[in-house]
């Protein structure tokens, strides 16, 4: 939530380029997918 707020604040002040925001979005998405996959694997092993 803090990261999202920081990115929104940065875009409003034009201090963060759009491509940086896009890259951060893709990285965040990849982290979420990886976390879900790891959680499912750990859950299935139990």
The tens digit of pLDDT for each residue in 11-40 reads 566 666 777 778 888 999 999 999 999 999
Residue 15's Cα: distance from chain center in Å? 19
- What is the predicted pLDDT for the residue at 24? 84
Task: Report how far residue 13's alpha carbon sits from residue 2's, in angstroms, rounded to the nearest whole number.
Answer: 16
Band of pLDDT at residue 10, cut at 50, 70 and 90: low
Cβ neighbours around 17 below 10 Å, total: 11
Burial of 16 (0-12, 13-18, 19+ CB in 10 A): middle
Distance CA 13, CA 6 (A): 11
């Amino acid at each position: 939530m803090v990261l999202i707020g920081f990115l929104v604040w940065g875009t409003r002040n034009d201090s963060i380029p759009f491509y940086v925001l896009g890259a951060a979005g893709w990285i965040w998405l990849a982290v979420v997918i990886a976390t879900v996959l790891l959680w499912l694997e750990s859950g299935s092993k139990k």
